[in-house]
Structure 1
Amino acid sequence: DGLQGALIEWAAIGAKSRGSEGIDDFLQLYRSLPEEQTQMRGNMIAHVSKLLTGIDSLTLVLSDWYRALMDESTLIRARAVQAWEYVPYDLVKNFPDLFFEAYSVLLLDQYVMVHQYAVRALSRRSFPEDKRGLVRTRLWNLICYYTQQDKKDNFIVECIDVFASLCLSDEDRKGKIGLLLSNILLILEGSALYDAINRLRFHFDDIPGFVKVALKAIQDKYTRSISIDDCISVILRAPHDELRNCKDDLQKAFNALKPFKPQQFIEALVYVAALSKCGDNVTANVCLKELLEEIPNDERNTQWKLKAALVTEATSIEHAISVCEPYNGLIEKWNGLTAELEKEYEERAKFRDFPPSFFS
């Protein structure tokens, strides 16, 4: 199938280079194929958009393409809808309403394969803004359907991504609908949960509740077996209000690291920074002190212990200022730690700068 698909793609590109005559030859071959040759018919219709150069070529292919969208074969319908993702951007506005209506109907198809090809194509080539209303309700229905307990998989993440990108206003994204999408994502586990963060991390920053999804993912075994970097990015970029709603989740994630391991030090600091950012300096300070106690009291770790102590004191000073408590003693302690750290720098400058084993 892969070799046949590649050969047909080359044939389509070659046909396009010959103009109307080449396009007509390609379509005549497609029409001459017996119905039972679904694989070749599917491969040919999947590349029909590769024939497009302008309105004239669009006129030539539309009737065959439209019929393929309504074909009895599930494979043909799926491959016909797949062809949409390769449509030249400048030609999208020239497609007739009937095509968009036929496409959107396939989001109600009874077969998963058709849904997957349709949503994937929409993620790569969107409908014009005035046609997106055709898919809004149908995409939402897919999200609800695949949210059912026995149907959760990575495809729901694709559906949510396309739905949010094409169908939601800024007000919708920041309101109840956005929160509902986050709650759906919170149901996911394993690879689907990892995919949600990996796929949505940049354009879901304004979606309420999304940082909770990141905090669940960062504790998921599947995510931790690959990388938690994207989760950390979401947490660090989260707005203050969102972090305030996640204080319990942040503490839970921090406590889950106990007993602390050297390679988890940075992750622990992320939770502390998030707690401080949302204004909970008391909890942040407690966490820092717990973390500080875990750093071994040996010469190799002196520099790191001093740095951690400085961060702890900075959090204490920030809290004291916020609640109008005296902080002169804290500043004196800060200055003393700073002097110790400068002295440590001078001592280390005399030797090769080996990083402490605790953080390696």
Structure 2
Amino acid sequence: MSNDRDIQKAIDAGEKNRSTIELIHNWCVHAKVKKIGGTGLIEAETGLPIGHHSMICDHASASGMATWDVADAALDFHDRNCVDCKHRVPVRLPNLSTLLGERERAQAEQNRIRKTHEDQRKLALSNRQATRQALRDKIPSTSQTIIDQLEDLDRDRNEDQIRKLVETAKLAPEIFTTKIIEHYFQLLEARESWFIAVGLETLFLLKTDPVRLARCALIAFRHIDATEISRRIILEHITLVDVSLITGAFRSLVLLGNPPRHPFISTARPAMPEPLLALYQHHPEAVKAAIQAHLDSKKSPAIEDAANAIKIIAQQDKFVAVPFARSIIAILARPESLIEFDEHYSHHDETGLYRFLQDALLLSLKASPQDTDKLVSAYTVTANSETEVRLLEAYEELFHEDIRGNVIVEAAVHSIALRRLIDTATSTIKSDEIWKLLGMFRSAPPKGLENLIRREASYLLGAAILLDEQRANLADKYMQATVFLTKLTYNNQYSFLVQLQKGLVNWVAGVAIDSPQTTEVYLQVLSGIPENSHHLRGIMVTALCRLMTTIEGLNIALPPLYSALVGASQIERAAAIKALKKVSSERSKDLPPLLYEIFLSTLLDPYVIVHQTAVRALEHLSLPDEYSSTLKRLVRELILNYSHSKSDDEFLIDCISLYISSYAEVEELQGDFGALLVSQLSRMSPDMVIRNMSWRSKKLFVAPGFGAMAVSLLKAATNDYQEDPVIRILRSLDPAIVYAERNNLESIALERVNEFDFVGTLVELLTRSGAWNEAEHIAKAAKEAIPETTRNLPQRLFADMLHTATKYELAISESTQEKLIDQLGQQWQETLSLIEKDNQDNEARRDPLRGIFGQN
């Protein structure tokens, strides 16, 4: 639902922007609109201008801002540049004058409202003064001081005046007559904001009419006025509170009990849950009625408040959520019927609301697991995947440690939740959302729940076996599908399912090391899986690494590991290699030599999955030094074989990276073999080389032809992600190598002469290597490529400085006459002066905060 609203909001914004852009084009023949950022899916499908745009003009000396609503950018740009522009050529009506007129009318309306409020304020002050004057005639002279102090506070509202009134109540309570106290209550009940804090404070000191005072305090609390003194009064007179006011004050009680956190405010308001907790303790039925009323309201803020209140009260009563479980579950299951979202409610807001409800559901699960689970079960029987996710996220939360890393304390609810989640996963093929929900299994076993997992080991492994049939069916569907999106869906589901299988197995293996009984269960299940179930057997073989953290575990895991390494299944052989890859460096010292011998043989295995897994394992697996020469020979043979077959370039890059970083000598790379490696990389897709080549070792930089290859990669780069690593490589090369490639670098720069930052980077590379002529040519071309417009003046001045600097260094390198050097120095200073003058002339126009504080 929220996605539909967000999509419609984006379309509405695009349609509004399209109309505004037309007004901009009609305003002036020179006015243009520039898109900032990428193009989203909705924009691509509709063709509407959705996203941030800015207004530009060649005659403008200041750029504006880019905004989601182009009208904001257009008005800002107009105020900066168009007010005194002499170059405007109007096109037609309607144009920006429409927006300007709307803004003027809005400002006029704001001024009218402001004046009305000021008139009302003056009238109210006059009425209060008349009331106080009438009161003077009815009180003794000794009490006149209070009226004077009230008059002073009403005119000059500051802390000193408030302090005077409070001190008067402390020092001379006897001068507060019945009529003055009545006047105080009338001001409070009229909600005179300037008086509420001091009025409540004074009446609290005077200990007068506690019932009426408690009522005023709760009313003040409702509007979040004078919260500290209101809190004290409510707690002091909690038994006298008018319960009919609790529902009205409910939102304020909740917000103060658990203040919302704002992303741009580092310090949150301190929580003040005491009033809500005290009200619940003394008037539980009234508070429960307020919670239920808010849950039934269908208003998203009210529902959020109810869920938040349950969370607060649970600190005092862990069973508070149980009576509301059915309502909470119903809202999560049928939000389209039980929540009225307004048009501004975003996907983020909706997700946040569900999070509050899920927290409340979690509290009910903890307090009454079986009853709550039965209610959830009744709704999930016919629920779609989206509803299941909303309900079961509360279950999944039980298996996450808190942000402080505290160990989970096992309870009855954990067993119920674990089985509910596993039953959901194994019941049928689920959507991507369900598999994502079960992502908790991708983490290590939760600390504190080890005994639960040991007790449920057979159940967890059984679930992994049941899922294997679903996995095989998904694989068949993927192979049979012909539509791309269908294949993508099956592929995602397959990936999530496999991750779930691995998670279930890893949880059991992770807790088996300290439990002989669980270890026995694990090995029995592994031995009992049919030989043709290679996928699941492979998962369980790989998870043996979790047993191999101790000497005892290593001895237990070695027999099935040996069997897998020398077995007939290439999937299980690869799985055994993965298990060895994950063995810690300390424990790898205890591996028997025979295991290393078998591992070396896997590098010659005819099956691709096996020898490729073995090569990638070498990045993590530490073999004794006596095997180094054999490993070097085997990896080199793989490089030569794959270079000849050209069957898998990505794996070839892995082999080259491993060989360079672990086995190659510098002298070897400076010769024919280094040239071979560079030639292989040069023939591959540049994108593949940039993505997969490991540049951790700089030894290949000395290979013949490496500089030319790096320059070719730079030329092929299509974005910053590809360009940046290549630039870093070029900066790391010996200047002589860069100098040899100066003509190619100049050619690349001239092809992209409009990209000033890129040109500057190449000028830096060339000047560092001593290629001053090429650097000067590039800088000159970059300057000449910038059109001479008012808008481009700052950029042209900076380009002129770059060009002057390269000419200056070139003149020095060529030992040119000192007169030319002096002229270039003077030209540099003149350009600096022009930059300073341009900045001064346009300081106000270019102020980034212009318009925010009312400037035009």
Task: Report the TM-score when normalising by structure 2.
Answer: 0.38
Matches within 5 A, 1:286-305: 286-305=777-796
Aligned partner of 1:332: which letter?
A: Q
2:741 to 237, 240, 246: 246
Aligned partner of 2:743: which letter?
A: D
Q: Secondary structure at 1:14's aligned position in 2? A: helix
Q: Which runs of 5+ in 1 are unaligned?
A: 355-360
Q: Which moved more, 1:287-296 or 1:134-143?
A: 134-143
Matching residue of 1:5 = 502
Q: 1:47 offset after TM fit, Å? A: 1.3
Q: 1:297 offset after TM fit, Å? A: 0.7
Rg: which structure is higher? 2
Q: 1:152 offset after TM fit, Å? A: 4.2
Q: Secondary structure at 1:63's aligned position in 2? A: helix
- Which structure: greater helix fraction? 1
Q: 1:55 offset after TM fit, Å? A: 2.5
Is the 2:549–2:583 Cα contact (8 Å) retained in structure 1? no
Q: 1:187 offset after TM fit, Å? A: 1.6
Aligned equivalents of 1:202, 1:344: Cα separation in 2: 46
Q: 1:75 offset after TM fit, Å? A: 0.9
Instruction: Give % identity.
Output: 27
Matching residue of 2:441 = none
Q: 1:289 offset after TM fit, Å? A: 0.6
Label 1:129 to 1:212 Cα distance change in 2 as closer, same or farther (>3 A): farther
1:156 to 628, 652, 656: 652
Aligned partner of 2:839: which letter?
A: Y
Q: Secondary structure at 2:603's aligned position in 1? A: helix
Q: 1:49 offset after TM fit, Å? A: 1.0
Which string of whole-angstrom CA distances, capped at 9 and with x for unpartnered residues, describes residues 51-91 of structure 1? 11222322222232123112111111111112122111211
Q: Which moved more, 1:160-169 or 1:274-283?
A: 160-169
Matching residue of 1:340 = 834
2:808 to 284, 296, 317: 317
Aligned equivalents of 1:342, 1:4: Cα separation in 2: 66
Matching residue of 1:233 = 728
Matching residue of 1:59 = 555
Label 1:234 to 1:45 Cα distance change in 2 as closer, same or farther (>3 A): same
Matches within 5 A, 1:164-175: 164-169=660-665, 172=668
Matching residue of 1:203 = 697
Aligned equivalents of 1:203, 1:255: Cα separation in 2: 31
Aligned equivalents of 1:132, 1:353: Cα separation in 2: 64
Q: Which moved more, 1:108-117 or 1:343-352?
A: 343-352
Aligned equivalents of 1:124, 1:211: Cα separation in 2: 30
Matching residue of 1:104 = 600
Query: Does 2:539 match 1:48?
Result: no
Is the 1:139–1:159 Cα contact (8 Å) retained in structure 2? yes
Matching residue of 1:15 = 512
Aligned equivalents of 2:537, 2:584: Cα separation in 1: 22
Q: Secondary structure at 1:148's aligned position in 2? A: helix
2:584 to 83, 88, 104: 88
Aligned equivalents of 2:622, 2:737: Cα separation in 1: 30
Is the 1:126–1:166 Cα contact (8 Å) retained in structure 2? no
Q: Secondary structure at 2:567's aligned position in 1? A: coil
Q: 1:285 offset after TM fit, Å? A: 0.3
Query: Does 2:627 match 1:131?
Result: yes
Matching residue of 2:768 = 277
Aligned partner of 2:832: which letter?
A: T
Q: 1:292 offset after TM fit, Å? A: 0.8
Is the 2:585–2:622 Cα contact (8 Å) retained in structure 1? no
Query: Does 2:678 match 1:187?
Result: no
Aligned equivalents of 2:782, 2:614: Cα separation in 1: 49
Q: 1:305 offset after TM fit, Å? A: 1.2
Which string of whole-angstrom CA distances, capped at 9 and with x for unpartnered residues, describes residues 272-293 of structure 1? 2212111110111011111110
Aligned length: 346
Which one has more relative contact order, counting CA pairs under 8 Å at least 6 apart? Answer: 1
Is the 2:583–2:621 Cα contact (8 Å) retained in structure 1? yes
Q: 1:128 offset after TM fit, Å? A: 4.5
Matching residue of 1:34 = 530
Label 1:337 to 1:160 Cα distance change in 2 as closer, same or farther (>3 A): same
Aligned equivalents of 2:635, 2:689: Cα separation in 1: 20
Q: Secondary structure at 2:736's aligned position in 1? A: helix
Aligned equivalents of 2:840, 2:609: Cα separation in 1: 65
Which string of whole-angstrom CA distances, capped at 9 and with x for unpartnered residues, describes residues 10-56 of structure 1? 121121232x5544543343234332221222111111111112223
Aligned partner of 1:42: which letter?
A: G
Label 1:332 to 1:279 Cα distance change in 2 as closer, same or farther (>3 A): same
Which string of whole-angstrom CA distances, capped at 9 and with x for unpartnered residues, describes residues 146-196 of structure 1? 223642432222111222222124555666654543332112115422324
Aligned partner of 1:102: which letter?
A: I
